[in-house]
Structures are given as C-alpha cells and as structure tokens.
Amino acid sequence: MTTKRKMTAMLLALTLATGSLAACSSGNNNPPANNGGTTNGPAESGGSSDAKDTITALLPPVSPAYQENFKQMEEEFNKLYPNLTLKIEPASWEDMTQKLDTQVNAGSPPDLAFIGSDGISKYAQMDMLMDIKDLVTPEMVSDFDEAPLEYMKNGDGLYGFPAYMEVHAIGGNKQYMEEAGIDWKSVQENGWTYDEFREAIKSGTVQQDGNTRYGFVFATAGVASKDYLAILVKNAGMPSPFTEDLKYAYTSKNYLDVLKAIRQMIDDGSMPKELSSVDAGKRWNMFLTGQTMITGKGLAVFENSANKNNEKLKAGDGSAVADSIEVDYIVLPMPSFGDHDPVSYAVVDGYVAFRGKKEPTDEHKANVVKAAYFLASGNVAATTNSDLFAAHITKSGREAAASIESNRNPDNVAAVERMLEHAAPARPDIPVELGAQAIKVENETVIPRLQALLAGEITPEVMYEDVKKAAIAAFGEDGVVQD
C-alpha cells in the first residue's frame, strides 16, 4: 500500500471513529427492528421561495422499519417546509435498479434516489444527475464527515449526500469457530491470509446427521451477484477497478488468482456446490439455522438481527426464524491474498439528486437539496443508522443518536475500526466515462461469467480470458493492466 493510500485510509478511519463503526450494505441484509421516530432538526434553506413544490424520492428498505416511517418522514419534512411536499415511492432492493432505470430512460427520474456511490458515474454519463455543489450551504457540508462525502463526488461535481459508511466484511458463529479451533480474536486484530482462511473453513465444515454444516457461505445470487468477487479482489492488490494511472486493473494475473480461489473453496467442500443459487435471504437463513460457520457478506446490521432473533428464541416468540439457533455474531475481516496488504471494501450509499430531460428551476433544485439533507442528517439518519449499527457520519446524526441505546459487541466495534484503517479510499478522480465503461464490463461480462464459474460451467482461466477480452475492447490495449 502506498504512503499516500495509507494516509488517506488512516484519515478515513479517524474521521469515522466517533461513530458507530459499521454499516448496512446496498441492501443484502436482514436488518433489525425500528428504534423510533424520524423527526429531524432544522435543515438549511438554500433558497427563499415560498412557492409550493413537490420533491419525489425513490427509496428502498434501507432498514426494516425505514419504509414504515415514510409517512412520518413526509409529514416531518412538511412541518419544516410548509410549502414543500416530499413524495416517497417505495421500492424493494430487488427492483430498485429496474425502477430507477425505467424512469431515467423515460427522461423523468425521481428527484432523489437511494443508490450506491459507485453508480454515480453510470447516471452522470447519461447526463441525468444534478450537480449540487453550488446549491448546498456551508452548514450542510460541514455537518458531514469528510471521507464519506468524498464518495458522492465525481470529478468536480457533488451529486448527493451520503447516508452511511459501510465496511463489507464476513461474520462468524462464535461457538462454531471456537469448536473449530479458530482464534477469532486474533483474526479480528491481525487479519488472516487466504491460506489460513481456507484451512479454517475446512476445519469448520462438519457432517451432522447426514447434513453438511459448511465452513463458509456467501450470497452470490440476485442483488448480491457482484459482491463476492468485488470484495475479494480488493485484498489481492486491486483496491479499485482502476489503478492510480487509470488503467483497468482486473486484467492483472492477481485477478486470476482470486478466481482460482473461488473454485478451490467450493471444490474443497467448504462451500456448497449450489453456491450460485444462494441469495442474500438464503445465506442469512443458513447462518441462523446453523448450516454454516461463517457467512458473507457480513454487515454490521447482522449482529443486531442475530441479537433480536436470539431474544425471540429465549422468549419462545413464534416469529423467530424457523429452526434457528442462538448465535453470537462475530465480525471478521476478509482474507488477504499472497503478500498483498488487506484492503477493506468501504461502501457509501446515499441520496443522489437526479434531473429529467427538462432543466429544473433554481427553486426546485434548492428544494431537492433541502430534501436530500433532511433524509441524510439529524434524526432520520440517527434512527436509520442506529437500526443498522452503521456509522453516524453527520454531527447532527451523532447528536440525535446520543440517546439511542446500543447492545453492540465491543469486540465487533473494534474490529470494524481496524478494518476502516485499511479501507479503500474514494476515487473521484476516475472519469465518468471510464467508470461507466467499467460498470458495463461488470454487468455484461464479469457477473455472467462469475455465475458460470460458481456453477462449475467454466474454469477460472476461461473467465479470466473473457474478462480480459471485454476490458481490452472497452479500454484498449494500453488502457488495461498487462502483467
């Protein structure tokens, strides 16, 4: 890791250390129950017009009670701004992208949509995003921690406000790991190599009454289809799809090493042969019912979900997951490959501003910014992020969350803090065109080939060559890593 990258990652970690250091994903979770209301403190104005206006927002279930609070959120926003109406359209994680793309392609997207910051380049290239850098007030900007706000930028533009900062990790069943002889505290503190991890999940694979308890299960189907590979490659010398000199990185031989590892873990029997059909819900059910020792991707919210299911089991509550067991959820880092430094997959999702084919008025733009800030700060952010065990990344959110109790395992808090020290920094330097091309290569080649690899239909070498061909076609011979 270069000195510059280390300094950036350390700054990122220090910036977030005052929050509850974990986060939700872009949706592949089973988040916990509601923690209360959503009233925000005063948002900065950004405009003085009293004309009536409606701001639309397309929002997925960021936390389980998030969508239940939509009516209250709309009412609270209207109390702050009596002339403004916040109209929220709910979407599931599964159909969020399809809904948004349909509206974007029709030229009438919502004013705000909750998306991952890695999707900004896709919509910016389509000229459907609204740059809000000249619309936000200094008070709004100063409320946010610097590191996560960087993720909402591309080039010189700022396209929204972050909701949380997330570290994609894995999570283990404490009892099962100790039975397998795994020193999970050492792993939390010092990390582990791929070889160490591979042996650990072999040890954790147990035959019980004719059934297999796997050492490791990762969701690889549906909305989670790209996560597994994207997280692994960061720990193999590829912290970003592009190097610092803007060459596409996934043509490196390091990429092939990761693809080989993916097949090894299945062929070892440490992961199910049917891994390509395991979606987010199934992998969490497998974890809670004792069918796997370690699960992924592991999100901070999973600890809260496991705790709540444990409470239901103790109380004899019939709404507990069927056939589930009590689980002490332990946060673990991803393994690193070879002599490469560990790099955590830090993800920032948030409220991104869109524009239609028709240029919105200055007053409407200012109102969209008010709505985005309302959703990303104060009590709305505090309630949502506390539900998720996620980092509070605004001063107003931290203040609002001070009275919300948490039962997080301090070992897990410390583990996430360490992972943030190795987090990949934001890359606003990647041009929109390159970012959009990388997404196209991912959707058209990487994800389909990964599914074929997981199913045993192609070899790692075939997938590597296919990705390399697609990358060269997209970026040219000189635009990709050749090692």
pLDDT by residue (tens digit) across 186-238? 999 999 999 999 999 999 999 988 899 999 999 999 888 999 999 999 999 99
User: Which residue is associated with the tokens 């409606």?
Assistant: 54
pLDDT by residue (tens digit) across 307-323? 999 999 999 999 999 99
Question: What does the pLDDT read at residue 442?
Answer: 97
Q: What is the CATH number of the domain that holds 70?
A: 3.40.190.10
Q: What percent of the chain has pLDDT over 90?
A: 76
Q: How far apart (Å, rounded) are the C-alpha atoms in residues 427 and 151?
A: 7
Q: Rounded to an integer, what is the distance from CA 11 to the centroid of its chain?
A: 20
Question: What does the pLDDT read at residue 481?
Answer: 98
pLDDT band at 48 (very low <50, low <70, confident <90, very high): low
Question: What does the pLDDT read at residue 101?
Answer: 95
- In terms of domains, do 117 and 223 share one? no
Q: How far apart (Å, rounded) are the C-alpha atoms in residues 200 and 404?
A: 37
For residue 406, the enclosing domain spans: 3-166+346-421
- Per the CB < 8 A criterion, the answer to whether 269 and 286 are in contact is no
Question: What does the pLDDT read at residue 63?
Answer: 83
Residue 32 has pLDDT above 70, yes or no: no
Please report which helix (H) or strand (E) contains residue 58, including its range. strand 53-59
- In terms of domains, do 56 and 173 share one? no
Q: How far apart (Å, rounded) are the C-alpha atoms in residues 42 and 45?
A: 9
Instruction: Please say which residue of 378, 406, 421 terminates a domain.
Output: 421
- In terms of domains, do 104 and 146 share one? yes
Question: What does the pLDDT read at residue 209?
Answer: 83
Q: Averaged over 180-190, what is the pLDDT?
A: 97
pLDDT band at 49 (very low <50, low <70, confident <90, very high): low
Picking from 135, 158, 155, 130, the residue whose alpha carbon sits closest to that of residue 146 is: 158
- In terms of domains, do 8 and 60 share one? yes
pLDDT by residue (tens digit) across 461-482? 999 999 999 999 999 999 999 9
- In terms of domains, do 161 and 225 share one? no
Residue 327 located in a structural domain: yes
pLDDT by residue (tens digit) across 320-363? 999 999 999 999 999 999 999 999 998 899 999 999 888 899 99
Residue 476 located in a structural domain: no
pLDDT by residue (tens digit) across 53-77? 999 999 999 987 899 999 999 999 9
Average pLDDT score, the chain: 89
Question: What are the φ and ψ backbone dihedral angles of 357, each rounded to 5 degrees?
Answer: -65, -30
Q: Averaged over 124-141, what is the pLDDT?
A: 95
Please report which helix (H) or strand (E) contains residue 239, including its range. none
Q: Averaged over 76-89, what is the pLDDT?
A: 97
**Backbone angle region of 253, left / alpha / beta, with phi > 0 → left and psi within -120 to 50 → alpha:** alpha
Q: How far apart (Å, rounded) are the C-alpha atoms in residues 182 and 197?
A: 10
Q: How many helices (H) and strands (E) does the chain have?
A: 20, 11
Residue 447 located in a structural domain: no
State the pairing for strand pair 329-332/112-116. unpaired
Residue 74 located in a structural domain: yes
Residue 305 located in a structural domain: yes
Residue 376 located in a structural domain: yes
- The DSSP-derived string for 394-425 is BHHHHHHHTTS-----HHHHHHHHHHHHTBPP
> Where is pLDDT greater, at 223 or 38?
223
Instruction: Please say which residue of 344, 376, 402 terminates a domain.
Output: 344
- The DSSP-derived string for 251-307 is GSHHHHHHHHHHHHHHHTTSS-TTGGG--HHHHHHHHHTTSEEEEEEE-HHHHHHHH
The token pair at 158 is 């700022």
Reduced to 3 DSSP states, what percent helix, strand and coil does the chain have, rounded to the nearest 5? 45, 15, 35
Residue 433 located in a structural domain: no
Number of domains in the chain: 2
Question: What does the pLDDT read at residue 447?
Answer: 97
Question: What are the φ and ψ backbone dihedral angles of 36, each rounded to 5 degrees?
Answer: 135, -160
- Tell me which DSSP letter residue 118 carries: G
With both helix axes pointing from N to C terminus, report the angle between 447-454 and 253-267 in degrees, rounded to the nearest 10.
Answer: 30
Residue 120 located in a structural domain: yes
Residue 20 has pLDDT above 60, yes or no: no
With both helix axes pointing from N to C terminus, report the angle between 460-475 and 447-454 in degrees, rounded to the nearest 10.
Answer: 180
Q: How far apart (Å, rounded) are the C-alpha atoms in residues 384 and 393?
A: 12
Instruction: Please say which residue of 397, 421, 445 terminates a domain.
Output: 421
Please report which helix (H) or strand (E) contains residue 451, including its range. helix 447-454
- In terms of domains, do 62 and 148 share one? yes
- Per the CB < 8 A criterion, the answer to whether 327 and 311 are in contact is no
- Tell me which DSSP letter residue 46 carries: S
CB atoms within 10 A of CB 458: 19
